[in-house]
Every structure is written in C-alpha cells, then in structure tokens.
Structure 1
Amino acid sequence: MRIVKPESLHQQAYHIIKSEILEGVYQPSERIVEAKAASKLGISRGPVREAIRMLIQDGLLVYNDGYVKVYTPTVQDVIDLFQCRESLEALAISLAIHNISENEKEKLQENLIASYQANEKKDIIELGKLDQAFHDIIIYASKNKQLTELLEMIRAKIHYMRSNMVKENFYPTLVEEHERIIDLLFSGDEKGAQEYIRQHIRKGLDGVLMHIDKSVSK
C-alpha cells in the first residue's frame, strides 16, 4: 500500500501502518524501521517518524531496547483492557437507549442479519469485522464524544489482540447474544442492557484467554 490520498502525509502513514499492525502484517515484537517504512510508502522519513510517534501514543508501538517495536500484550494487559471495556460499554449502551437514532437502529438490524449469514458460512474474519461494527454502532449511538474517543483506543488494541492472539472462532453464541442486546436496547431496559453487555464482554474475555497463544508472556 502506498500514499495516494490528498491529506497530510503523516496522517496517511499513521492510518496505513496502524491498519497493517491491526491486520497482522506486522507481528508482535517486530521491529519497525523508520527508513524501511518510508521507502515502502514512497515518502520521506519525517512523516513516518510522526506516524510512529502517534502509534506509540496509541500504545500499538513501544520503545524496547532502543528500538521501536510492535506492542506485545501480556495476559494481564488483556484482562485490564477488557475490564475497562466492560465499564465503558455499559455506560455507552445506557446512553444509547436514550440517544439512538432510527438510522442506527436499522444499522444494528442489518448487522445482525449479516452476522447470522457470516456465522452460517463460518467466515470468522467477516464475523469479527461485524462484531466490531456492532459495538461501534452502539458506542456512537451514545452521542458522547469523550466516551467514543476513550473506546476507540481500547477497540484498536482489542482488535489487534484478537487478530494476533486468537486463531479460531472462540465465541459460538456471539450472534445470539447480539440479538439479545438489540432486544434490550430497543425495549429501553437500561438496567438489563447494562448487565447483559457486561456479561457479553466478560464471556469475550474468557474466550480470548482460553485460546490465547502460548507464546504470550504471563
């Protein structure tokens, strides 16, 4: 992938490198060489340096032994991240009950149909994308900008962890649980929706921990 869009070079570099990290092009602990990345993108090293700085701020890259490397999460990192996600998404669905638009409701229904189809085809990659989109719709429906920004960083790290640490479909009841979340959201059951999405996220954590790659440090 090379730079093509008419926007700031460092922003383009940031989005491209971030996408490659999330999709597993770069592996955990892999070194990111500024000059090599710049050559690959067809730009100078300055914008790449700024993109790397932004990705370090996001927590997807780290300084390690004097080098910039891809973040390697520990088991405790996974647990900590899901605990944050649980509390924040419980707040998000509570706010979404009061603020969700008709268009967002339609998007949730469409997502559910597509998720059932992907599940039938055992398309794990597509199902993962739909799962992420499902939660995003609810988060954006909260209409709370600060909450959305907090969850964006968490969402990126969780996507990275699932892409690099989980090698199979670990969550057979995922789609049915999404349907239940929609029912609670649309019915306005704030307490029920909060508790159910907490359970849903805890089950997701259990699934990640059950299938976590043995090479991840503890």
Structure 2
Amino acid sequence: MGRRRKLPDASPSSSVRQRAYLYIHRKITEGELKARSALSELELARELGSSRTPVREAISQLVAEGLLEQTHGGIFVVEFTREDVLDLCELREALETYAFSKVARLGLPQSEERERLHQLVQAVLDLKEELEKSGKTALDVEGMHRFIATDFSFHALLIGLSQNVRIHKVVSETRVLMRVFLMRHKGHSVADLERIYQQHKELLEAIERQDVAATTRILSMHLQESQRERLEEFDRHKREISMKNNMPNYMEIYKPNISLS
C-alpha cells in the first residue's frame, strides 16, 4: 500500500489561526499597517477575541512570506529598499519569461482560459475609454483597484497555463509583495492604459501564433517599463518622506517675538 497522505489540519485551532492570518494580512495589504509599523500580539489577540497562540502562528507565517520581520526589538511590517525592488522585478521577469515562452511553445488551446484572456485584454481598453469619458486625468483609487485586479489576472492566468505550480506560487507571492509595499501614489493615465492595452494585446497575439521570440521581446519590454515606473515611484516616495522629515517646524521659524513689557 502507498503512503497515506496527511490530511489538512481542520481543527478549531487551525481555523482560528487562519482567521488571524487573514486579519493581519488584510491590515497590511489594505495599508492599515504601514511599513515599519510595530505589531503587538496581545493587541491583535484582543481585536480577534482569541488567545495569543494563533496570532503568534499567523505572524510566523507572514514572516516566512516576507510581509513581516521579527527582530530583537519586536515584529514589524517590512520596509523595502531600492535593491529589494530591483530583486523582485528581476525575479518576476525571469520567471514570467520562462512561463510565457513555454505557453507560446506549447500553444494556446481553444478553451475558457483563452476566451478569458481576451476578456482581460478588453477590460484594460474599457478602463481607458471610461477614463477618457470621465474627463479625469488619471484613475482614482477604485479604478486602480480594478486595473490591478485585471492585470494580475491576465499574468496569473498565462503563468497557470505553463503548468508549473511552483513558478505560479513564487510569482504570485512576488506580486503581492510589490503591490503591498509599492502602492502607487497616482493612478494610470489614458496614455498608460493605452500602452498597457497594446502590450497585452500584442503579447496574447504572439502567444496565439506560437511566436516564442516575439513573446519574449514584448514581455521584456512590458516588464522593463513596469520596473522603471516602480523605481520612479519608489524614488519619488522616498524624496517626499525625506522632505517631510527634514522640513523645519513652521512655528519655530516664524515664532513671533512678543514682549510682555
């Protein structure tokens, strides 16, 4: 007889641990907990109405996933450096290039996934047209959430078609990290959406005609531009923080010289 597979832990403690994990994860991904924010096991346990054990286990999982770091001074939300941004972008490009090239080489079958890819390409165009009609210069927060979900789904679906579960897992985790710690401070413009739409469209067309060279070239250009934008956004954000921290206190500079005599 073969080895019996161990069933997933479905105990009540597992359920509480998962709830704690999702609760903390949401606080981070939605920006409630910022980079360098300290976490308190006791406070989180109180918020969840649980003991500290499932919170501690959830924190350990988030540390392993790279969202939190544990030091002698406590537990903190990770803060990215410029080198971290470059590392993540390079890792994503290497893995997606392999996965997309494999899909192009194998061929894209007529399937629900293929139809879904075309719908996701169209969704970016729809966003662009909505933005044009609105008269706004850039997507608002809700619009950016829609774009990010669409873009993530397009790339994730193609990676999934490569049938490499490990690559899919690593790239998904990488994109979550980038989304959490490199939140955009401005939405995409009409020109941005037009460019991304064209790149997604050309990329899908190259994969459909099984042109591996074109697939690699278009994807590289697409991801290099994404990397440039991410780095520019990172640098801009750091400059803003630096200016804010170094700005002299207004009241100290302009303190009136009042004489009581």
Normalised-by-shorter TM-score class? 0.7 to 0.9
CA contact (8 A) 2:80 2:181 kept: yes
Q: What is the identity, as a one-letter code, of the residue corresponding to 1:131?
A: D
Q: What is the identity, as a one-letter code, of the residue corresponding to 2:144?
A: I
Can you give the 5+ residue segments of structure 2 that lack an aligned partner in the other structure? 1-11, 132-138, 243-261
Output the CA distance in 1 between the equivalents of 2:115 and 2:52. 44
State the match for 1:16 in structure 2: 23
State the match for 1:169 in structure 2: 187
Output the CA distance in 2 between the equivalents of 1:20 and 1:86. 28
* TM-score computed with the length of structure 2 as normaliser: 0.74
CA contact (8 A) 2:37 2:77 kept: yes
* TM-score computed with the length of structure 1 as normaliser: 0.88
| Largest Rg, 1 or 2 | 2
The change in CA–CA distance for 1:12 and 1:191 in structure 2 (over 3 A counts) is farther
Cα deviation digits, residues 25-52 of structure 1 (max 9, x gap): 2111111111112222232211111110
Q: What is the identity, as a one-letter code, of the residue corresponding to 2:238?
A: K
Output the CA distance in 2 between the equivalents of 1:82 and 1:119. 25
CA contact (8 A) 2:93 2:220 kept: yes
Quick one: which of 160, 164, 189 aligns to 1:144? 164
**Superposed counterparts of 1:1-218, under 5 Å:** 8-97=15-104, 98=106, 100-101=108-109, 102-120=111-129, 121=131, 122=139, 123-163=143-183, 166-169=184-187, 172=192, 173-212=195-234, 213-214=237-238
**Runs of 4+ in structure 1 displaced over 6 angstroms?**
none
Q: What is the identity, as a one-letter code, of the residue corresponding to 2:199?
A: E
SS at 1:63 equivalent: strand
Cα drift, residue 89 of structure 1: 0.3
Please provide the CA RMSD for this pair: 2.1
Cα drift, residue 65 of structure 1: 4.7
CA contact (8 A) 2:144 2:188 kept: no
Identity fraction in percent: 27
Q: How many corresponding residue pairs?
A: 210
Greater displacement, 46-55 / 190-199 = 190-199
